[in-house]
Amino acid sequence: MTVASSSPPSRLPLSGAEAVAPMKKVKARAQGDGALAAVFIAPAMLGFLVFLLWPTLRGIWLSFTRYNLLTPAEFVGLDNYVRMVNDPIFWDSLWVTVEYVVLNIGVQTVAALAIAVLLQRLTQSSLLRGIVLTPYLMSNVVAGLVWLWMLDTQLGIGNEIISGLGADRIPFLADETWAIPTIALINVWRHVGYTALLLFAGLQAIPNDMYEAARVDGASEWRMFWRITMPLLRPVLAVVLIMTVIGSFQVFDTVAVTTAGGPANATNVLQYYIYGSAFGRFQFGYASAMSVALLVVLSAITVLQYRLTRAGQSDLG
What pLDDT shows up at residue 35?
85
A 10 A CB-CB count for 100 gives 24
Beta strands (DSSP E) in 162-244 are none
* Phi and psi angles of residue 74, each rounded to the nearest 5 degrees, phi first: -110, 120
Query: Chain-centre distance of CA 301, in angstroms?
Result: 13
What is the C-alpha to C-alpha distance for residues 200 and 105, in angstroms, rounded to an integer?
Answer: 17
Enumerate the domain spans of the chain.
21-62, 87-309
Eight-state DSSP code of residue 69: S
What pLDDT shows up at residue 1?
44
Please check whether residue 104 is in contact with residue 186, taking contact to mean a CB–CB distance below 8 angstroms.
no
Please check whether residue 263 is in contact with residue 174, taking contact to mean a CB–CB distance below 8 angstroms.
yes
Please check whether residue 278 is in contact with residue 287, taking contact to mean a CB–CB distance below 8 angstroms.
yes
Of the candidates 259, 241, 249, 105, the one whose C-alpha atom is nearest the C-alpha of residue 180 is: 259
What is the C-alpha to C-alpha distance for residues 188 and 295, in angstroms, rounded to an integer?
Answer: 23
Please check whether residue 190 is in contact with residue 138, taking contact to mean a CB–CB distance below 8 angstroms.
yes
What is the C-alpha to C-alpha distance for residues 228 and 198, in angstroms, rounded to an integer?
Answer: 18
What pLDDT shows up at residue 129?
82
Rg (CA), the chain: 29
What pLDDT shows up at residue 26?
52
What pLDDT shows up at residue 3?
47
The answer to whether the peptide bond before residue 235 is cis (omega within 30 degrees of 0) is: no
Beta strands (DSSP E) in 47-201 are 65-66, 74-75
What is the full per-residue pLDDT of the chain (317 aa) written as tens digits? 444 445 555 555 555 555 555 555 555 555 567 888 889 999 999 999 999 999 999 999 999 999 998 889 999 999 999 999 999 999 999 999 999 999 999 999 999 999 998 888 777 778 888 888 899 999 989 999 999 999 999 889 999 999 999 999 999 999 999 999 999 999 999 999 999 999 999 998 888 888 889 889 888 888 988 888 888 888 899 999 999 999 999 999 999 999 999 898 999 999 999 999 999 999 999 999 999 999 999 999 999 988 888 777 766 65
Domain 87-309 has CATH 3.50.50.60: no
What is the C-alpha to C-alpha distance for residues 86 and 42, in angstroms, rounded to an integer?
Answer: 44
Please check whether residue 272 is in contact with residue 252, taking contact to mean a CB–CB distance below 8 angstroms.
yes
What is the C-alpha to C-alpha distance for residues 147 and 93, in angstroms, rounded to an integer?
Answer: 23
What is the C-alpha to C-alpha distance for residues 275 and 257, in angstroms, rounded to an integer?
Answer: 14
What pLDDT shows up at residue 15?
54
Residue 212: burial class (beta carbons within 10 Å; 0-12, 13-18, 19+): exposed
